């Protein structure tokens, strides 16, 4: 019964996406209809998918379906286990929000762009994501992976008239194919060893792999999934591609598409390979630390709102990898309970990031929708015309900065606790890395808070800096509902974290043989504990209530003076000058100036000031200011690589002389070599 309903729910949600794809394509001549079909089909698919994943998680055991295809090694095998169920849950929560949001958002496409094609690609993306999370056959997985990359490419380049967009799309598609290539090789290695492409067949042979094979498999899968997740140094496509897409798509790309990398690592490293050597876990941890710190440092320098958010995705992937790396290390070291806590931290952060990053991108989308610019230096004061968007964005900003009592805090707290536990559990000098990683997580959190103070304040507070922001208007109601749903999810997962934790039980049992939720909750279900009797405890619910009570208690204290003298509105202190204008406001560039100076080793900032004056340099007529930071990875790593590839290819060109005789000779030589190879074997 349960298996039947699970299968039915899964099939129905896939069918909803398929119908959505083709129905919206069929109605491309009627944009309003196509928009409604696209959004309602996505919403229906998400609802069904959500129901299925809740069922799958509650059930806990694996359900598999397999239909042979007649092609060797390839079968339509799906496996709906706890891990797949969890990632599907992380998929449907943002998808539900995005589909409601898109009812309003896509209206501006009508008459200008092809809503039908958009709907087709959008549903194709959702369909491929669902299949990536449930595929149990390597080739089915790779096909879904490729469809996902292509659909995402189509959506990233949806505003293709813009050169920047096309360049970003090209970069994205190249990187997506490098990662697909790595995965293909990795799977080829496993298939060669096991003789089958089913994921289930990899598990028994994982222990028989030689050291070299194990290393090669780890490196290939880490590269493949790492590029997709956008870890540093493979991140360069992410801040280019995510901002140029339509905002509802940016939300999905940053919220869930990059998480397929995290899913892949968890699936292959923990499930199929059953653990990786401890150096590999350490590598994951270190890459996570580097991605987190550098991601947020680059985010701080951005004044393009969507690029800033894209860099924060790199940061958060880093935080997730810290938890995942710790889990991999603990697993090898023989601490399954600790590994389970670390895995819960990583997976919880995956879900949380999917929610608040989606929320922030949708908020940025509303701002873009209303002001027509992504440049924060032209925004300001939007909290007055757009109060609901501002509130939702604020909640997202608090959550992503890891501040209590919202959901980001809970998962970061669990990450801290598992890192601290690592110090006691691991022997040798490497254990010093755990608290150091913890301190870098603290740096990341504090810098993220600084960055979101900047993002929120420069966008929404004070006075508008340009005409575009002066006549901004609130987003349509459906867009607000989409954001409101995610805002609620942020609060619910934060305050109700202890009630949500049992969701992870089935997954940790499947991957690590441990159920930890009961250890993680004490104090009548109100208090989150780190699993060990003496380690830390925290309760977001009590913190929230405490804050509320104390704030309410402060109200009558403030009222003492206000009752007698009232509160007046007055001009801002202007040092006696004739009034302040928006030109005197702090800008995003100015806000991050101090950090730019402090981390100048990394940024290598360059600035140029040209002043035009008549009489005295103290009274300039006109000032031109230019400031930029060096894109280190692009310049030091990718530019030389690109140059090298071009150089090699131009050398290769000499063998293409254009003469048919030469080509015939090549074919002949190749044939002889192949024959010789065949004979020798």
Partner 1 sequence: MTEVLTNSCLQLVLLLLVAPLFSGMTKTLKARLQTRRGPGVLQSYRDIFKLLHKGMVIPETASWIFSAAPYMVFATAVLVGLMVPMTTSHAPLSLFGGVLAVVYLLALGRFFLALGGLDTGSSFGGLGSSREMTISAIAEPAMMLAIFTVALGANSTNLSEMAKIAVTQSWRFLAPSQMLAFAALFIVLIAETGRIPVDNPATHLELTMIHEAMVLEYSGPYLALLEWGASIKQLVLMTLLVNTFFPFGLSSDWTAQTVGLGLVFYLGKLLLLACLVVLIETTNAKLRLFRVPELLMVAFILGALALISTFLF
Tokens 């403030």 label which residue?
Answer: 558
Q: Give the C-alpha separation, 337 to 330, whole Å.
A: 9
Return the number of the residue (75 or 414) whose C-beta is nearest partner 1. 414
**Which residues make Cβ contacts (< 8 Å) with residue 665, sequence separation at least 6?**
none
Q: Does 597 bind partner 1 (CB under 8 A)?
A: yes
Structure tokens belonging to residue 619: 């009274």
C-beta separation of 611 from 602 below 8 A: no
CB of 48 to partner 1, least distance (A): 38
Q: Does 463 bind partner 1 (CB under 8 A)?
A: yes
> Residue 348, CB half-sphere, CA atoms under 13 Å: how many?
33
Of 111-170, binders to partner 1 (CB under 8 A) are none
Of 494-533, binders to partner 1 (CB under 8 A) are 523, 526-527, 530, 532
Start-end of H helices in 237-304: 237-244, 247-252, 259-265, 278-300
Helix, coil or strand: residue 239: helix
Helix, coil or strand: residue 465: coil
Angle formed at CA 349 by CA 324 and CA 492, multiple of 5 degrees: 150
C-beta separation of 53 from 6 below 8 A: no
Q: Does 543 bind partner 1 (CB under 8 A)?
A: yes
Q: Give the C-alpha separation, 10 to 146, whole Å.
A: 21
Of 218-237, binders to partner 1 (CB under 8 A) are none
CB of 623 to partner 1, least distance (A): 16
CB of 636 to partner 1, least distance (A): 24
Binding residue (CB under 8 A) for partner 1 from 594, 639, 664, 665: 594
Q: Is 62 buried (19+), middle (13-18) or exposed (0-12) by CB count in 10 A?
A: middle
Q: Does 680 bind partner 1 (CB under 8 A)?
A: no
Binding residue (CB under 8 A) for partner 1 from 580, 602, 605, 620: 580
C-beta separation of 331 from 301 below 8 A: no
Q: Does 579 bind partner 1 (CB under 8 A)?
A: no
Binding residue (CB under 8 A) for partner 1 from 193, 449, 481, 602: 449
> What's the first-to-final CA gap in the chain, in angstroms?
54
Q: Does 566 bind partner 1 (CB under 8 A)?
A: yes
Q: Does 377 bind partner 1 (CB under 8 A)?
A: no
Q: Does 290 bind partner 1 (CB under 8 A)?
A: no
CB of 475 to partner 1, least distance (A): 18
Binding residue (CB under 8 A) for partner 1 from 68, 212, 571, 576: 571
Q: Does 567 bind partner 1 (CB under 8 A)?
A: yes
Binding mask 262-281 for partner 1 (x = CB under 8 A): --------------------
Structure tokens belonging to residue 644: 């090298």
Q: Does 204 bind partner 1 (CB under 8 A)?
A: no
Q: Does 568 bind partner 1 (CB under 8 A)?
A: yes
CB of 112 to partner 1, least distance (A): 34
Of 383-442, binders to partner 1 (CB under 8 A) are 383-384, 394, 398, 401-404, 409, 413, 416-417, 420, 423-424, 429, 432, 435-436, 438-442
Residues that bind partner 1 (rule: CB under 8 A) add up to a total of 91
Q: Does 462 bind partner 1 (CB under 8 A)?
A: yes
For residues 165-174, b (16+ Cβ closer than 10 Å) or e, as one string? beebbbbbbe
Structure tokens belonging to residue 224: 């493949």
C-beta separation of 118 from 106 below 8 A: yes
């Amino acid at each position: 019964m349960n298996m039947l309903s699970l299968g039915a729910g899964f099939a129905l949600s896939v069918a909803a996406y398929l119908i959505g794809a083709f129905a919206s394509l069929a109605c491309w001549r009627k944009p309003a209809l196509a928009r409604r079909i696209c959004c309602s089909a996505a919403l229906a698919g998400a609802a069904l998918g959500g129901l299925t994943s809740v069922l799958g998680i509650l059930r806990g055991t694996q359900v598999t379906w397999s239909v042979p295809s007649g092609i060797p090694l390839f079968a339509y095998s799906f496996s709906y286990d706890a891990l797949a169920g969890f990632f599907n849950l992380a998929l449907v929560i943002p998808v539900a929000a995005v589909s409601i949001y898109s009812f309003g958002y896509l209206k501006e496409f009508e008459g200008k762009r092809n809503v039908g094609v958009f709907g087709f690609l959008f549903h194709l993306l959702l369909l491929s994501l669902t299949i990536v999370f449930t595929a149990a056959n390597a080739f089915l997985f790779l096909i879904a992976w490729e469809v996902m990359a292509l659909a995402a490419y189509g959506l990233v380049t949806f505003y293709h008239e813009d050169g920047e967009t096309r360049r970003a799309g090209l970069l994205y598609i190249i990187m997506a194919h490098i990662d697909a290539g790595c995965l293909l090789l990795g799977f080829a290695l496993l298939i060669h060893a096991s003789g089958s492409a089913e994921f289930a067949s990899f598990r028994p042979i994982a222990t028989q792999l030689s050291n070299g094979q194990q290393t090669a498999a780890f490196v290939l899968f880490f590269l493949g999934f790492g590029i997709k997740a956008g870890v540093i140094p493979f991140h360069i496509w992410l801040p280019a591609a995510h901002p140029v897409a339509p905002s509802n798509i940016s939300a999905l790309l940053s919220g869930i598409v990059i998480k397929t990398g995290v899913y892949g690592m968890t699936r292959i490293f923990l499930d199929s390979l059953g653990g990786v050597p401890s150096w590999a876990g350490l590598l994951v941890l270190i890459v996570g630390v580097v991605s987190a710190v550098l991601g947020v440092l680059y985010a701080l320098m951005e004044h393009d709102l969507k690029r800033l958010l894209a860099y924060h995705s790199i940061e958060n992937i880093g935080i997730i990898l810290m938890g995942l790396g710790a889990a991999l290390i603990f697993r090898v070291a023989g601490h399954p309970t600790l590994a389970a806590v670390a895995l819960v931290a990583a997976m919880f952060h995956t879900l949380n990031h999917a929610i608040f990053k989606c929320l922030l991108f949708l908020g940025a989308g509303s701002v873009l929708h209303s002001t027509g610019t992504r440049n924060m230096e032209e925004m300001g004061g939007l909290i007055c015309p757009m109060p609901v968007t501002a509130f939702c964005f604020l909640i997202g900003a608090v959550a992503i900065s890891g501040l209590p009592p919202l959901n980001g805090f809970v998962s970061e707290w669990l990450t801290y606790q598992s890192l601290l536990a690592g110090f006691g559990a691991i022997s040798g000098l490497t254990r010093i890395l755990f608290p150091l990683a913890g301190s870098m997580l603290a740096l990341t959190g504090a810098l993220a808070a600084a960055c979101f103070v900047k993002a929120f304040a420069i966008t929404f507070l004070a006075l508008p800096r340009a005409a575009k922001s002066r006549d901004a208007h609130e987003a349509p109601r459906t867009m607000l509902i989409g954001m409101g749903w995610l805002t609620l999810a942020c609060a619910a997962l934060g305050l109700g974290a202890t009630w949500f934790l049992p969701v992870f039980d089935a997954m940790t049992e499947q991957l690590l043989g441990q159920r930890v939720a009961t250890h993680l909750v004490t104090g009548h279900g109100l208090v989150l504990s780190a699993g060990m009797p003496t380690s830390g405890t925290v309760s977001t619910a009590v913190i929230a209530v405490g804050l509320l009570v104390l704030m309410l208690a402060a109200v009558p204290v403030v009222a003492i003076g206000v009752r007698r003298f009232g509160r007046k509105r007055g001009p801002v202190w202007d040092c006696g000058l004739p009034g302040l204008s928006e030109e005197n406001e702090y800008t995003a560039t100015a806000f991050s100036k101090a950090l730019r100076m402090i981390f100048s080793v990394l940024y290598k900032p360059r600035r140029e000031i040209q002043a035009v004056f008549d009489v005295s340099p103290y009274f300039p007529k006109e000032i031109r200011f230019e400031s930029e930071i060096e894109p280190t990875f692009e310049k030091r790593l990718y530019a030389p690589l690109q140059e090298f590839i071009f150089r090699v290819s131009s050398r290769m060109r000499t063998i293409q002389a254009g003469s048919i005789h030469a080509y015939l000779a090549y074919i002949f030589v190749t044939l002889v070599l192949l024959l010789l190879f065949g004979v020798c074997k």
